[in-house]
Structure 1
Amino acid sequence: MIDSLYNLTRKGWLKALSFIISTSMFILIWVFSSSFALHFGGHIPYFALFVFYGMVILWIHGIGFEIKSSLFRIIFLPFLGYIIVLPSFLYFIFSLLG
């Protein structure tokens, strides 16, 4: 089950998208670090750690590491990274614009 779900994301364009999204989020965090700390840190800093976890997932996927263990495939599932990072990325962009 997990192997078939993981194999859905083995496409080249999805790996490139993962790398672009995670690198873009890293650049935004690096350039606007005080804004990131204000919006994602706040009183509960776990959301910032959650965003970093999603970025790590997408970097691992985007660079092209092949994970063999089923347990680590569950932990670093690219769909999970997309679910975490894409809304965070959009929220961060719209909070900077408005």
Structure 2
Amino acid sequence: MRYVTVEDIKKHLYIDFEADDYIIADSIDAAQSIIEKYLNVKLSDLVVDEQLPYPILQAIKIMTGNLYNNRESVAFNSVPYRVPFSFEYLIQPYKNYKRGTEI
């Protein structure tokens, strides 16, 4: 299940064309999977009143934007950088540190 829509991401990234919709959709799926693995929690387990917590939704948007804007593993004429700290700050409180509960 996608917790953010392609339209949500297009608004977040100021995209007003449809040609990359399939790339954005794939990036949303990848972002959600990355967040689940990082948190060691299924996103569906965090849903309250049919909604993910806002920090998780924002983290999905940030990670999706990062994946969309950096689709290749090598960037030329660029300095390497980490995912923005805001991503980690948003999702850290939801991380499951219990051993034996890996998803």
User: Same-fold call, TM > 0.5?
Assistant: no
TM-score by length of structure 1 reads: 0.37
TM-score by length of structure 2 reads: 0.36
